[in-house]
């Protein structure tokens, strides 16, 4: 797969960015396989453009001293600690994630902050305001200067509910028929007016704390 990416990058008349982490969390996987370390250095030597991956984990120590040549973009996924505790079981704490993105940026990697999935629990505005404020207070000055942001609202899947209910019986129920609508084949999303209110709130709060950082998209 990497050979195919490298060939495509070489043939393109412009620099491309290739998503390599859509099927698994590569930082977690790397603690077992070491594949991410090899991929980063191999693309640095032979590829053109960038490779990128998201993560919810803070085990980045083995990545800090690699010869990445600025061609790798790490996007750290963050959520309020309450959401992490009740939904993102087994992942790194918010504090560890922020420390990890600070380290990666200091090591010369391009970095992004992925606020995802935005989950509209009862006190969601307070939680996400506190999250953005926490990022402002704890991200390094270098990250605050260079990072871009992405925002993704939760899409709920009935299949995921069945899997998670069995694996994590203490997980909170994410489906709320009052604010969600069908998206087809057992999937649900927030209703248009609810989703728009969420985007307005996130964008306004981001402008207050990160007025100079680009929000690549809100979906």
Instruction: Look at residue 173 in the predicted model and tell me its pLDDT.
Output: 80
Rg of the chain in Å (alpha carbons): 18
Instruction: Look at residue 162 in the predicted model and tell me its pLDDT.
Output: 56
113 phi and psi, to 5 degrees? Answer: -115, 120
Domains belonging to the chain, first-starting first, are 57-218 (3.80.30.30)
* Averaged pLDDT, groups of 10, the chain, 219 residues long: 94 96 96 97 98 98 98 98 93 98 98 97 96 98 98 84 57 85 87 97 98 98
22-41 pLDDT, tens digit each: 999 999 999 999 999 999 99
- How do strand 72-78 and strand 50-55 relate by DSSP bridges? parallel
Instruction: Look at residue 161 in the predicted model and tell me its pLDDT.
Output: 62
Residues in the chain, overall count: 219
Instruction: Look at residue 164 in the predicted model and tell me its pLDDT.
Output: 55
In 3-state terms, what secondary structure has residue 191?
coil
Are 58 and 99 within 8 A, CB to CB?
Answer: yes
In 3-state terms, what secondary structure has residue 118?
strand
- How do strand 187-190 and strand 156-157 relate by DSSP bridges? antiparallel
């Amino acid at each position: 797969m990497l050979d195919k990416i490298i060939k495509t990058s070489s043939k393109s008349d412009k620099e491309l960015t290739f998503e390599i982490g859509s099927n698994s969390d590569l930082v977690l996987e790397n603690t077992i396989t070491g594949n991410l370390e090899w991929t980063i250095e191999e693309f640095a030597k032979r590829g053109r453009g960038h490779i990128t991956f998201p993560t919810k984990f803070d085990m980045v120590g083995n990545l800090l001293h690699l010869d990445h040549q600025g061609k790798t973009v790490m996007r750290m996924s963050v959520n309020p600690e309450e959401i992490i505790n009740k939904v993102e079981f087994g992942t790194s704490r918010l504090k560890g994630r922020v420390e990890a993105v600070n380290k990666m940026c200091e090591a010369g990697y391009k970095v992004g902050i992925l606020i995802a999935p935005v989950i509209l629990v009862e006190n969601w505005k307070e939680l996400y305001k506190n999250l953005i404020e926490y990022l402002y207070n704890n991200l390094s000055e270098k990250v605050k200067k260079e990072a871009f942001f992405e925002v993704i609202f939760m899409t709920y899947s009935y299949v995921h509910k069945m899997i998670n209910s069995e694996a994590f019986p203490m997980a909170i129920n994410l489906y709320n028929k009052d604010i969600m609508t069908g998206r087809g084949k057992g999937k649900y999303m927030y209703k248009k007016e609810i989703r728009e209110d969420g985007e307005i709130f996130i964008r306004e709060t981001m402008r207050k704390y990160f007025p100079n950082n680009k929000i690549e998209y809100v979906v």
